Amino acid sequence: MPACPATEDFFRARLDQMIDLRHPLAVLASRMPWQELEARLAHLFKRKARAGVAMPDLDLFGEAPVRAARASNAGRPRVPLRVMIALLYLKHAFNESDEGVVERWRESPRWQYFSGLAYYEDRLPCDATTLVKFRR
């Protein structure tokens, strides 16, 4: 029996089945040039190599060898660029604060669909301070 392409994950609800696709925000999501926006903004948010200053570590036995700087994989994964662009648009369109837009995004399937998600997520997309850093 072939699997239905609309239900790849049996235990999760798809957003396009939860909302009315004729809603203005859903229509706008399909008409926005997301790939062009991401392409124009991606170079601004590339991971930049940090130049470390080599300082010798002094101890009782003399100078210790300086380790070469490496990129760390520790930390939180990046929020997708489309989600960040959508959050900024929704913040301005609905006159929300940073904290308000993040909380409302979690509660609204339409907003998540606009942000490019396929499945409903009951979690915050990012911390509100991430929006402040993204705007800079």
pLDDT, tens only, 43-93: 877 766 556 555 555 555 555 555 555 666 666 778 888 999 999 999 999
pLDDT for 130 equals: 87
Are 108 and 15 in contact by the 8 Å Cβ rule? The answer is no
Give, in order, the Cα–Cα distances in Å from 17 to each of 11, 20, 97, 98, 126: 14, 8, 29, 28, 25
- Whether the predicted pLDDT of 6 surpasses 50: yes
- In this predicted model, which residue has the larger pLDDT, 119 or 59? 119
pLDDT band at 113 (very low <50, low <70, confident <90, very high): very high
- Whether the predicted pLDDT of 116 surpasses 90: yes
Q: What pLDDT digit, counting tens, does each position of 25-45 carry?
A: 999 999 999 999 888 888 877
pTM of the model: 0.72
Q: What is the mean pLDDT of residues 4-18?
A: 75
- Whether the predicted pLDDT of 117 surpasses 50: yes
Q: 32-43 in b/e burial notation, b at 16+ Cβ within 10 A?
A: bebeeebeeeee
Q: What percent of the chain has pLDDT over 70?
A: 72
pLDDT for 66 equals: 55
Are 38 and 81 in contact by the 8 Å Cβ rule? The answer is yes
